Amino acid sequence: MTGTTTVDATMNSFRILERLVASDEALGVTELAADVGLSKGVVHTHLNTLAELGYVTKRDRKYLASMGLLALGEDVRSHLGVFTAARRHVDNLARVTGEVSTLFVEEDGVGICVYMAHGSNDWTPEYACGTRIPLHVTAPGKAMLASLGRERVADILDERGLDAQTAETITDRNVLRGELRTIRENGISFCREEQSAGVIGVGTSIALTERAPAAAIGVCGPSSRLTGRYLEEDITGQVISTAKSIQVDLTR
C-alpha cells in the first residue's frame, strides 16, 4: 500500500507530538488518546518517551510541547550554507525597506521559508518559517523555478500541479512558463496576491554552487502599501542588491 514499510510507533509518537505542538495549552493523556485514537496507556508511554528525549514537558499532570523543539530546526538551519551567509543580509534588507524579508529554499519541489526578518512596519504574513508553500504562488518560489533546469521544472509541475491558492494564482502551465522567462530576463519576480489575498511580494533567486538546493530571497507586505515606484524601483532595487551581497559572501 505505502510501497515500503514504515514504523507505526514512530508515526504514533509524531502524531502525538504534532497534536501538542498545534495546541496552545497543555493537554491531558485522555484528551490526546481520544485525538490520536490510541489507548490511554500507550499514549502515556509515548509521552514519557518524548519527555525523556526533551521534546515534551509535563506541567502539573498535563503535557505540552517543549521549546527544545526549536533546537532541532535551528540546528538543521545552521547547517545550511546559504542561511548562514544570507541571514545578516536579510536582516539588513528588512531594516532598510521596513518590510518583511524572507529567505526560501526549494525542497522536494516545494518552497520552504527558512528565515524571516521583520522590518519596522508591523505586519507579518500568515505563514511562518518551515511552512511548505507551492513554488508557483510566491515571488521567491517563482524565482527559484526560473533558476532550475527545464526538465526539473517539468518534473515539479507534474508532481505538484498548479493548484490555485487565490483567484490570482497562475494555474496554466504556459502562462507560468512565460512568466519564468520574463523572470529570467529581468532577474526579478513578483507575486501579486497569488498566494494570499492582499499580499504582494518581490523576489530574486540566489545562484548556488552544485549540490546545494535552489534558494531565493524576497520582500512581502500588504498590497495597500507595496505599490508603484516604491515597489517596482525602491524595494526591487534593494532586493537585487541584497542578493548580490549574499552571493559575494557565498563565493568566499
Partner DNA sequence: GAAATTGTTTTTCAGAGCAGAACGACGGCC
Partner DNA sequence: GGCCGTCGTTCTGCTCTGAAAAACAATTTC
Residue 210 contacts DNA per CB under 7 A: no
Angle value at C-alpha 38, between 36 and 44, nearest 5 degrees:
100
Pairing of strands 110-117, 132-134: antiparallel
Q: Is 169 in the site for DNA (CB under 7 A)?
A: no
Cross-strand bridge partners of residue 215: 105, 206
Residue closer to DNA (CB basis): 41 or 68: 41
CB burial of residue 163 (10 Å; 0-12, 13-18, 19+)? exposed
Going from the C-alpha of 175 to that of each of 78, 138, 172, 181, the distances in angstroms are 37, 15, 5, 10
Binding residues for a second copy (CB under 8 A): 2, 4-11, 13-14, 17-18, 21-24, 45-46, 48-50, 52-55, 57, 65-80, 87-88, 91, 95, 105, 107-108, 112, 114, 118, 120, 122, 128-132
* Contacted by 37, from DNA, a second copy, none: CB < 5 to 8 Å by type: DNA
Nearer to DNA, 9 or 154 (CB): 9
Task: Identify residues 10-29 at the interface with DNA (CB under 7 A).
Answer: 10, 12, 28-29
Residue 169: alpha-carbon gap to chain centroid: 18
Q: Which residues bind DNA (CB under 7 A)?
A: 3-10, 12, 28-31, 37-42, 44-48, 58, 60-62
